[in-house]
Amino acid sequence: MNVVEQMTELAFARPQPGDSPERIAGWYLAKSRLHEYLAGCGDRDAEIEARLAASARAHANEILRHRGPTVVAAHGRTVRRTA
């Protein structure tokens, strides 16, 4: 994996307001794969990278589990819109 390339792709593909839950979840899964790769490199940050990977994966699963109207806030967090 080319880490710099993947980080650039994630930066430019960051979810935007109005994106579908599937697209948002896909972005978090891609982020998870990057952190999983970095965790597997075995450096001193491996434990932190593994936690970040698990967090991104859990966030993607949560988004998919609660599909429906979602809003991507300005700071990048995904929140459910209540009617």
**Domain spans, the chain:** 16-80
What local confidence, expressed as pLDDT, does residue 83 receive? 45
What local confidence, expressed as pLDDT, does residue 66 receive? 84
User: Global pTM?
Assistant: 0.79
Over the chain (83 residues), the average pLDDT of each successive run of 10 is 96 94 95 97 96 95 78 55 50
Helix residue spans in the chain (DSSP H): 3-12, 21-40, 46-65
What residues pair up with 70 in beta bridges, in sequence order? 80
Whose CA is closest to 10, among 76, 81, 70? 76
What local confidence, expressed as pLDDT, does residue 29 receive? 96
What local confidence, expressed as pLDDT, does residue 70 receive? 53
